[in-house]
Structure 1
Amino acid sequence: MSETREHAETGPPVRPRGWARRHRALLIAVVVLLAGAALVGLRPWESCGAGLHTVGADEESVGSSYVCVGLNLDSGPVRDDDPLDPLEKLIKGRNDTVGDNFKTIVVLENLAPDPKVDSQPFSFVRREVQGAITAAWPKKGPPGFKLLLANYGSNADHWRVVADEIIAAAAAQRIVAVTDVGISSENGRALVAELSRHGIATIGATVTADNMNTDPRGARIENFFRVGPTNTDEARAAAAYIAEHGFQRVMMIQGVSKEDTYATTLAEAFKNSSKIPVIFTKTYDVKPLADTSREAYLRGLFSRWHNDICGARPDLIYFAGRGLDLGALVAALAGDGACEGLDSVTVMTGDDASTLAGNPLELNKDIGVRIRYTALAYPDQWEMFTADPAYPTYKKNHDNFVAEFTGTHGFPKGELWDGAAMIAHDAVAAAVEAALRNVSSDPVSVADMVRSIDCNSPVPGATGFVAFDQTTGNQLDKALPILSIDADGSVHPVDLVWSRGRPLNTEPDCGR
């Protein structure tokens, strides 16, 4: 080997251009992207803002389908093409103006319902948020309140994520209460119990299952309250209606999913309340299906029951299940052939039927079907109460709400028809009142202030006066409209009853 060759092989190596030098433009772009994302609280491989976590997404592909669960601290989108975006922007705009001396109310729901899995439609959720906004920011209301939305996903499957984020943010955000809570479920109970364990109050709106105020072990959840009725309240009202109108042959169709406490406790409450024996019961349980929707599956199942129903010849079917499921039952009853001796039937159910209303229904085909349900609220409900001396007060409170909803915030009056905005408003109104009564900004001090909202000092609401039972946390003397749904989906009032048989504050023993 020559000296020249040896020198060349043993001399200093020739260094190639480094990756950074060769891809300088790309590196600069990545740095800029990272810096920009940091300013808005996002990482570029994530789609969700502060307090939120991505689920159901391919995290390697920015822009793929995603859902954000958790506490929406930035009031940004929680899914692709989020239909709540206009309301989230409205909330963000108001939150940005409250200054440093503020208190926060959280609205907890499944903010991105999947129609293949969830029984609650998005339109119902939208109206709940509208009602919450109306209560948080009335035209002449007190300043300094923020509103944050929290999403726990389908069936509250991500309740632990939401609970952790709310607990972590409670002190810094000065959280007054968590409101709404969505549908009754075992996951929802676990979430509410966890918040209560950390001293955070929850005020349910549409959760009616009797056991929502107890934890999974059966112990009372001390910091849980609700402005809506219980299923026992609804079943008692339904049983009275059935007895009054002379129905004799009552059949029950019951959802038995262990996770859906709304259906199971509604069925149990009706059995305990009805003076007319149930002659026949059919049960169903729906699991998430990969190849078909919940509604399509149940339409097929209920069709299989046609001969059984014809044989039982009920004059009334009490349906202890979700509103979406009721739609499948009605389609099967009306469209699967005539029954000898059964020309028509009344189907009565609970408040979840409001999610079915608004959609055309074929009620007058092979078997005529009449739908009745106990509702959480109805905009014209006080017109069935005009003879009572308390009517002017209840009507005035409701009219004040409508003026704020349509005038101050410009929401369409047509959005009030199913009561979702009204009941959500009252939950937030109770939280606002508790915060105003409280001299402390510590979240753990709020529950005692909510407890002080009793029959002697109730909160005027859109659905009536709000007052809480000191033992159970349930609403006292809730007004319950009984409504019908026509073939065009329109809703009409049939009756107005009270959960304890009388309006609030008409007797000295109002707290009992």
Structure 2
Amino acid sequence: MPRTALLDRLAPGNRPAGPPVRPRSLLHRHWIVVTVIGVLVLAAVIVPLRPWEQCGAGLTAEGDVCVGLSLDSGLLRDDDPLADLEAVIAERNAQAGAAYKTVVVLENLTPDPDVDSTPINFIRHEVQGAIAAAWPRPDTTGVKLLLANFGSNAEHWRAAVDQIVASAESERIAAVTGIGISLQNTRDAIAELSSHGIVTIGATVTADDLNVDAAGKRVKNFFRVGPTNSDEAHAAVNYIAKLPKRRTMLVADVNEADTYAGTLAKAFADQQLVPIQFSKKYDSLEGQLTGTSRDEYLQKLFRGMHSDICNAQPDVIYFAGRGVDLRSFVYALSNDGACQQLRSVTVISGDDAATLVGTKLPLTGDIAVTPLYTALAYPDQWKMFTGNDAALTYQQNYTDFLNSFTGTHEFEAGHLSDGAAMIEHDAVATAVDAAEKDPSSGSRSVANFVAEIDCNSAVPGATGFIAFRQDSGNQIDKVLPILRIQADGSAGPVDLVWSQGRPLDTSPSCTS
């Protein structure tokens, strides 16, 4: 019971009426003392109230976190690691001009390391990128930014989406960005927002089927600035095809709730350029484990694959699963005994492996591992872009972003290494671009202006020019850096590939 409600109930005027005559017992004669002692005892139990127990406007408590739309940019849980960024957002929102438009970042902003695959630092970097896009210069006043939390595995997506819909007109919400990771829950959230005419611009969501609802119908108000899993698999296949040794094995997560892993595995399996000699499957059981951590469970599971992998002797393993699972896989290969038939292997995965940046890995153990992944973005990627007249333009766009990130907001350049800030920046920048062109302050009218972002009117971004296909909302000709993760957790560039084999054509005669 809230402390104020307890005091109101105990106040003399609120006590229930008793009989007209009471026995004058010692307890009755000293009722004031007894009451005060009772209040103090209860207060000792209730106080201090933790911040998340007083969720702000637009939020409701679920367990020990706040979910929904944070209308006042308040704390989302006890010891909120995003508190400093929420304070920046609140301060900048207070400076918004009268004709502002609002962009919402919808994410799991309170990840549980025992359950969720995305670490809090990755989330922090996404929010930093959103801030840099919303307010690239100190004098920017036309945009508000709000954070929306749907919790672990997007379990509370309904609470977040309902609050966004309820606040769409009053808060002048132009678009929702971010969307977290590719799950059935995030797919449902996208479809529900679309049904209310609200645009969503995905940043890190790459599953091919996120642009269709559960019935297979196109979600017309969904766009994404990142690649699809088909793009990522195509890039990985082209890289593998150039290797001198390419005997290939597929290890795939079959958790039906994780559409990222499922569509990544399907895209790789459907290609014809690199034959797959062997396959192994596992189920991550995301959010369903009891009495053990995801890492402990999967290391035990992957150790059971060790002998099969030794016997298969792959040169390359394509790992279609979350980055957190890739970490467990690497540990299992490294620590489960020597393998005479297989001394080393290259393991290639999708963009979620970026969540391992900063994590130390045992890469020279029983089986030496070279981990590579197709990244959404990398700060030094444009240094690999040469031999094209547009290279300088791409570099200048990135420099503009960097000036906002490290200059206007004084964020650390080292926070760009996982690419999260860059890709979220581009999602929010795209939303802002469309909102500024829209003369209406309603939430339904922005979709037409986002749909008009094609090769003739591409948005300059940190990760390249942003343009969308009219039939799918997917990005056109996305660039994909292939990175290698070192034992100390750092990532370095290996190659730069384009999803369609070439940079986006932005000339007046373009037809993409």
TM-score by length of 1: 0.90
Partner of 1:430: 430
Alpha-carbon distance between aligned partners in 1 of 2:20 and 2:495, rounded to the nearest angstrom: 93
Aligned-partner SS, 2:169: helix
How far 1:71 sits from its partner (Å)?
0.4
Change (3 A) 1:369 1:509: farther
Partner of 1:360: 360
Partner of 2:166: 168
330-339 or 417-426: bigger deviation: 330-339
Q: Contact conserved, 1:139 with 1:408, CA < 8 A, in 2?
A: yes
1:443-483 superposed Cα distances (whole Å, 9 cap, x missing partner): 00011110011110011000000111111000111110000
Amino acid paired to 1:189: R
Aligned-partner SS, 1:149: strand
Partner of 1:206: 204
Q: Contact conserved, 2:52 with 2:77, CA < 8 A, in 1?
A: no
1:421-442 superposed Cα distances (whole Å, 9 cap, x missing partner): 0000000000000001101011
Alpha-carbon distance between aligned partners in 2 of 1:459 and 1:508, rounded to the nearest angstrom: 15
Partner of 2:4: none
Q: Contact conserved, 2:50 with 2:78, CA < 8 A, in 1?
A: no
1:194-227 superposed Cα distances (whole Å, 9 cap, x missing partner): 0000000000000000001111111100000000
Alpha-carbon distance between aligned partners in 1 of 2:507 and 2:238, rounded to the nearest angstrom: 22
How far 1:51 sits from its partner (Å)?
0.8
Aligned-partner SS, 2:201: strand
Amino acid paired to 1:431: A
Q: Contact conserved, 2:334 with 2:367, CA < 8 A, in 1?
A: yes
Change (3 A) 1:53 1:388: same
Alpha-carbon distance between aligned partners in 2 of 1:492 and 1:258, rounded to the nearest angstrom: 32
Aligned-partner SS, 2:386: coil
Matches within 5 A, 1:344-493: 344-493=344-493
Aligned-partner SS, 2:80: coil
Amino acid paired to 1:49: G
Alpha-carbon distance between aligned partners in 2 of 1:328 and 1:206, rounded to the nearest angstrom: 22
How far 1:343 sits from its partner (Å)?
1.2
How far 1:98 sits from its partner (Å)?
1.2
Partner of 1:14: 21
280-289 or 161-170: bigger deviation: 280-289
How far 1:279 sits from its partner (Å)?
1.2
How far 1:13 sits from its partner (Å)?
3.9
* Equivalent residue for 1:180, pick from 171, 178, 181: 178
Amino acid paired to 1:298: L
Alpha-carbon distance between aligned partners in 1 of 2:215 and 2:167, rounded to the nearest angstrom: 27
How far 1:79 sits from its partner (Å)?
0.6
Amino acid paired to 2:108: N
Q: Contact conserved, 1:182 with 1:207, CA < 8 A, in 2?
A: yes
Amino acid paired to 1:384: M
Partner of 2:498: 498
Alpha-carbon distance between aligned partners in 1 of 2:156 and 2:337, rounded to the nearest angstrom: 43
Q: Contact conserved, 2:458 with 2:506, CA < 8 A, in 1?
A: no
Partner of 2:145: 147
* Equivalent residue for 2:125, pick from 127, 130, 139: 127
Alpha-carbon distance between aligned partners in 2 of 1:395 and 1:274, rounded to the nearest angstrom: 34
Partner of 1:60: none
Matches within 5 A, 1:34-433: 46-56=53-63, 66-139=64-137, 142-287=140-285, 288-433=288-433
1:367-388 superposed Cα distances (whole Å, 9 cap, x missing partner): 1111111000000001111221
Amino acid paired to 2:60: H
Change (3 A) 1:477 1:510: farther
Q: Contact conserved, 1:236 with 1:274, CA < 8 A, in 2?
A: no
Amino acid paired to 1:483: L
Structure 2 unmatched runs, 5+: 1-18, 44-48
How far 1:100 sits from its partner (Å)?
3.4
Aligned-partner SS, 1:194: helix
Amino acid paired to 2:487: A
How far 1:246 sits from its partner (Å)?
3.3
Alignment size in residue pairs: 480
How far 1:138 sits from its partner (Å)?
1.0
Q: Contact conserved, 1:239 with 1:274, CA < 8 A, in 2?
A: no
Q: Contact conserved, 2:138 with 2:408, CA < 8 A, in 1?
A: no
272-281 or 399-408: bigger deviation: 272-281
1:472-507 superposed Cα distances (whole Å, 9 cap, x missing partner): 000111110000011111111011011111111167
Q: Contact conserved, 1:338 with 1:367, CA < 8 A, in 2?
A: yes
1:156-177 superposed Cα distances (whole Å, 9 cap, x missing partner): 1111111110000000000000
1:55-81 superposed Cα distances (whole Å, 9 cap, x missing partner): 11xxxxxxxxx1011001110111111
Alpha-carbon distance between aligned partners in 1 of 2:470 and 2:23, rounded to the nearest angstrom: 78
Aligned-partner SS, 2:444: helix
Aligned-partner SS, 1:146: strand
Alpha-carbon distance between aligned partners in 2 of 1:44 and 1:327, rounded to the nearest angstrom: 33
1:372-426 superposed Cα distances (whole Å, 9 cap, x missing partner): 1100000000111122111110000101111110010000000001110000000
Q: Contact conserved, 2:95 with 2:141, CA < 8 A, in 1?
A: no
Amino acid paired to 1:422: M
Change (3 A) 1:246 1:258: same
Change (3 A) 1:480 1:24: same
Q: Contact conserved, 1:469 with 1:511, CA < 8 A, in 2?
A: no
How far 1:96 sits from its partner (Å)?
1.4
Amino acid paired to 1:69: V
Q: Contact conserved, 1:200 with 1:444, CA < 8 A, in 2?
A: yes
Q: Contact conserved, 2:51 with 2:77, CA < 8 A, in 1?
A: no
Change (3 A) 1:16 1:457: farther
TM-score by length of 2: 0.90
Q: Contact conserved, 1:455 with 1:504, CA < 8 A, in 2?
A: yes
Alpha-carbon distance between aligned partners in 2 of 1:377 and 1:310, rounded to the nearest angstrom: 33
200-209 or 290-299: bigger deviation: 290-299
Amino acid paired to 1:159: W
Q: Contact conserved, 1:250 with 1:315, CA < 8 A, in 2?
A: yes
Aligned-partner SS, 2:21: coil
Alpha-carbon distance between aligned partners in 2 of 1:317 and 1:405, rounded to the nearest angstrom: 36
